[in-house]
Amino acid sequence: MTDPQVALLMLGLFILVVFLGFPIAFTLMAMGIGFGYYAYFDAGRMWRAYDRLAEGAGWWDNTTLWLEGLFNNRIFDLFINQTFTVMSNEVLTAIPLFLFMGYIVERANIVDRLFTTLNIASKNMPGSMGVAALITCALFATATGIVGAVVTLMGLLALPAMLKARYDKSFASGIICAGGTLGILIPPSIMLIVYAAASGVSIVRLYAGALLPGLTLVGLYLAYVIGRSILQPSVAPRPTAEEVPDVPFGRLVIMVMTSFFPLAFLILAVLGSILFGLATPTEAASIGALGGMLLAVVYRAMTWQRMRESVYLTVRTTAMVCWLFVGSYTFSSVFSYLGGEQVISEFVQSLNLTPLQFLLLAQLIIFLLGWPLEWSEIIIIFVPIFLPLLDMFGIDPLFFGILVALNLQTSFLTPPMAMSAYYLKGIAPPDVKLTQIFAGVMPFLGMVFIAMLLMYQFPQIVFYLPELFYGK
C-alpha cells in the first residue's frame, strides 16, 4: 500500500473503532502512535547503537540495546512534543476557569431564583412560562456552557412547573432541550475556545462574531414560543393566580435586582472585558470564576462539598479536552505526514465545487457526525480536516467557525441521537415519553436551520461586530 492509502485506512479504521464504542481520546493516541511507528520507521536510526556493541557482549546488553532501538522511533518524540504543546497552550487555559465558573453557578441556587423571578415578571405574556424558561436557559447556558447540566437542572426546575400549568408536554420539553444547547454558541462559549485553539483564529474575534448569531437564534426561539402560544393557546395556557402569584411592583424590582442582574452582570463583565480588550480570555475567565464564587457566598450556597464537586468536575472535563487535543494532534500529524490531507484536498478540488456548495457539503458532514459524536470530538478531530481547504474556496475561518457552532446545536436536537432529549428524559416524569420530547425539539431544530440560512444570506451578521471592534 502507498502512504496515502495507509492514511485513508487509518481514518476509516478510526471511524470504525469509534462506532464500536472505544474511548475516543485514547483511540486517537493509540492509532496515531501505531500508524506513526510505521510512518517514521527507520531501522538505521533505531538500531544504530548496535554498531558500538562489542563482539563479546552478552544477552543482557543485546536485549537492552534492542529495546532501546525499539522505542527509538520519532513518533514518541512527536507524541511528547504534542503533549507539551497542548498543556502549554495559553488559549486552553481559559477552559478550566470557565468550567469552574459554570459548575459553581450551577450549585449556587441562582437558577431557581432566576426562573421564579422571570416567570412572575412575564406572566402577562403569551407562553409566559416558556419565555421565562427559555431566557433562564439562555443565561444559565451562557454561564456554564455545559449542555447536560443546563438541561438536567432546568428539567428538574422548570418542566414540573410547566406541566403543572397544563403546558403541552412536547412544547415544554422542546423549550428546555433547545434552550439548554445555547451555551455552546453564545459567548463566553467553551466550544469557541476549543475551535480557536484548533484553527488559530482569534478567540476575541470569534466571541464578537458569535454574539449576534447567538442572539438571533434566541430571538427565533422566543418568536416561535410566543407565536405558537398565540396561535395555539392550548399548548401554553395562561397561568392562574395560584400557579404564578401577583407580586407588588416594588417587590418584583427587588427580585429582579437580586436574581437576574447578578448573573447577567457576571456574564457581561466577563464578555465585555474580553470584547473591549480590558482582559485576555484567560484573565476574564479568572474574573468569572471568582465572581461565581462570590455569588455562591452571597446566596449562602457555598459549602465545602459543593466546592469539592465543582473542582472535581472541572478537572475531569478539562483532562478530557486536553487528552482529546493530544490524541488529535498526534493523529492529524501522522495523517498529514502520510499524505492523507493531500488526498482529501485533491478529491475536493476534483469536485469543482463553488464556495457555497463546499460550505453546504462541510456542514452536512458535520451535521451527520453530530449524531454519534460529541461537539468536542468534532471540533478537535474533524474540523481541522476542513480548515486547510478554506483558503482554496476563499472562506473566512471565522465565518466557518460560527456556522459550525450553529450547526452543532443540531447534534443535541436531532433524533434519534438527540442527547439533550436523553438528558431530559432521564429526569422527566414517567408520563413524558421520549417520542414526545423528540416531537417537541423538531420546531426548534427548524429555527437552527433558519438561523444558518440567515448567516449564509447575510454574512454581516457574523462580521459586523468583529469589524466594528477590531477592524477588518
Task: Tell me the torsion sign for CA atoms 111, 116, 118, 119.
Answer: positive
Identify the residue whose cell numbers are 466546592: 307
Nearest to 17 by CA among 27, 29, 8: 27
Mean pLDDT over residues 191-217, rounded?
88
pLDDT at 51: 56
Q: Give the SS3 label for residue 469.
A: helix
pLDDT of 211 > 80? The answer is yes
Choose between 266 and 68: higher pLDDT. 266
Lowest mean pLDDT among 96-100, 242-246, 397-401: 242-246
Identify each DSSP E strand in 370-422 by its residue range.
none
pLDDT of 219 > 90? The answer is yes
pTM for the full model?
Answer: 0.84
Answer whether 174's CB lies under 8 Å from 127's CB. no
Mean pLDDT over residues 195-202, rounded?
85
Angle made by CA atoms 194, 200, 202, in degrees to the nearest 5: 85
Choose between 459 and 344: higher pLDDT. 459
pLDDT in tens, 433-449: 888 989 999 999 999 99
- What share of the chain in percent tops pLDDT 70? 93
Mean pLDDT over residues 335-347, rounded?
83
Question: What is the spatial distance between Cα 403 and Cα 392, in angstroms, rounded to a whole number?
Answer: 18
Choose between 458 and 245: higher pLDDT. 458
Nearest to 139 by CA among 204, 215, 208: 215
| H/E segment holding residue 340 | helix 340-350
pLDDT at 50: 56
pLDDT at 59: 61
Q: Give the SS3 label for residue 372.
A: coil
Question: What is the full DSSP assignment across 28-40?
Answer: HHHHHHHHHHHHT
Question: What is the spatial distance between Cα 313 and Cα 34, in angstroms, rounded to a whole number?
Answer: 31
HSE, CB side, 13 Å, CA atoms: give it for residue 250.
0
- Report the mean per-residue pLDDT for the chain: 83
pLDDT in tens, 11-47: 888 888 877 777 888 888 888 888 888 888 776 666 6
CB neighbour burial string for 337-359, b if at least 16 within 10 angstroms, e if fewer: bbbbbebbeeebeeeebeeeebb
Question: What is the spatial distance between Cα 289 and Cα 291, in angstroms, rounded to a whole number?
Answer: 5
Determine how many CB atoms are found less than 10 A away from the CB of residue 307: 16
pLDDT in tens, 40-96: 877 666 666 555 555 555 666 666 666 666 677 788 888 888 888 888 877 788 888
Question: What is the spatial distance between Cα 262 and Cα 103, in angstroms, rounded to a whole number?
Answer: 16
